[in-house]
Amino acid sequence: MQIRLAERKDIDQLIQMRWDFTVEHNETKTFEESDLEVFKIECRSFLENAIASETWFIWVAEKESKIVSHIYIELIQKVPRPGRVTYPFAFMTNVFTVKDYRNLGIGSKLITTINEWSKNRKYEFIIVWPSDDSIDFYRRNGYIHCKEPMEYFPI
């Protein structure tokens, strides 16, 4: 098992994994082949930009050239404050492991790598909005369940 940052060569696998994640967790919508084609264009553009950026970090767990798990991290820059060095915080999203590889400790190895990486880079904290099903996973990996944030929906 290799844990590494995603590269351009991984884009097709990452697109398919995002599609599979959405289909698996969306019980109310049926997707058409045309939906997949539109999605591929949008997702490819996002991934090309993300991989080339200095604010997105896509971590993957790879086994025999197949990506079996991934976690996306976006760095959020904070407004500086007088009297201290300001470090960004990390927003964790799109945490997914392929069904056949779940409950084997792969996600925990991936998140442990990210936790060490963020500690070494002195990021202030990592924030994630877990699904109800994933709260125990994050707790087992050192995360604290905090109160819900406030939201505003402009539409």
Q: What is the CATH number of the domain that holds 41?
A: 3.40.630.30
C-beta separation of 13 from 43 below 8 A:
no
- 10 Å Cβ neighbour count for 84? 7
Q: Is residue 145 part of a domain?
A: no
Q: What is the number of structural domains in the chain?
A: 1
**Residue 71: partners with Cβ closer than 8 Å, 6 or more residues away:** 58, 59, 92, 94, 95, 110, 111, 114
Tally: H helices and E strands in the chain: 4, 5
Domain that holds residue 128: 2-140
- What does pTM read for this prediction? 0.90
Decide if 151 is inside a domain.
no
Token pair, residue 142, equals 């050192």
Ordered per-residue pLDDT tens for the chain, 155 residues: 999 999 999 999 999 999 998 888 777 767 777 888 999 999 999 999 999 999 999 999 999 999 999 999 999 999 999 999 999 999 999 999 999 999 999 999 999 999 999 999 999 999 999 888 899 999 999 999 887 777 878 88
Residue 20 lies in a domain: yes
Is residue 152 situated within a structural domain? Answer: no
